[in-house]
Amino acid sequence: MTKTALIAIGGNSLIRAGERGTLDEQFENAYATSKSIALMIKNGWDVVITHGNGPQVGAALLRSERAATEVYTHTLDMCVATTQSEIGYILQTALFRSFKEQGIIRDVMIIPTMVRVDRNDPAFSNPTKPIGPFYSQQVAELKKKSLGWDIVEDAARGYRRVVPSPEPVEVLELSIIKKMVDSGIITIALGGGGIPILKENGDIHGSEAVIDKDRSSALLANGLDVDLFIISTDTDKVYLNFKKNNQKGISSASADEMDNYFKDGHFPPGSMGPKVESIVKYLRNGGKKAIITSYDYLMQALEGKAGTTIVP
């Protein structure tokens, strides 16, 4: 019987620390990740791949802003839509390269994905997600006045735009993705957490927001009833007291144990926090099993020899 896994790929799989983020770098980094995914597929797994898009959306916004006097500009939801295709193409070509090496013959399809959010979500009245480039205070204040942006000082490096990050409510293409998986097609979907969509008076329209890709991936994993939900990140496993003298790796834990660690403050909001929250929610909503690890430990993690395995 075929097993199904949803793999949520972090930004480190495409642009790593210290890199400029050139297309050549992104293609090579995607290839490194795709080799592990190809081995999973060769071992009998059907796979749905989701991914982040933080650096790419920042670049898209910057291009739009700087070319505003020459061409039409892009809203944030449109930037998410375009980067879904951009990153999907990078991952698709990387997978085909790995398939060729492994002797795998499988179709790969990219599904541009919309995700419904709630207009009444508190995030819309409290934007907290920094996006795009850094600005001086003077330029930031001008943009706040002229464009209506919310601006915050970020990491003492300057000022950035902040946007809402609402909770995902519904993956609009869920039935289509399910048909692809049932047909044996390796599916790339839900890029950047999904295009944020509001449903009002029977119509849908985009929203100037971003959705956390781990939270929406958990929602999709539950909707597809996958056998395994994997979050690929830049550490081999989850650690307590991370980067402190007394740090301790977690090899396996229950959802309740991870939730308790989260409540004790072990997982910061800007790094491991949303990943742990998302996995706990996935498992409490009927999920079977989850793993947090880096792509280069993926095969060992499937055997219980690396990574952090979390069960209901």
Residue 241 annotated among the catalytic residues of the structure: no
Residue 12 annotated among the catalytic residues of the structure: yes
Contact criterion met (CB below 8 Å) for 204 and 229: no
The backbone region for 253, taken as left when phi is positive above 0, alpha when psi lies in -120 to 50, beta otherwise, is beta
Residue 275 annotated among the catalytic residues of the structure: yes
Catalytic entry in 11, 52, 192, 194 = 11
Which of these, 7, 14, 8, 29, lies nearest to 213 by C-alpha position? Answer: 8
Catalytic entry in 35, 88, 129, 281 = 129
Residue 178 annotated among the catalytic residues of the structure: no
Catalytic entry in 10, 12, 35, 192 = 12
Catalytic entry in 58, 192, 194, 213 = 213
Q: What type of residue sits at position 165?
A: S
In angstroms, the CA 1 to CA 3 distance is 6
In angstroms, the CA 155 to CA 20 distance is 20
Cβ-proximal residues to 16 (8 Å cutoff; 6+ apart), any chain: 25, 29, 234
Residue 286 annotated among the catalytic residues of the structure: no
Catalytic entry in 132, 275, 281, 307 = 275
- Token pair belonging to 256: 């309740």
Q: Which residues are catalytic?
A: 11-12, 129, 213, 275
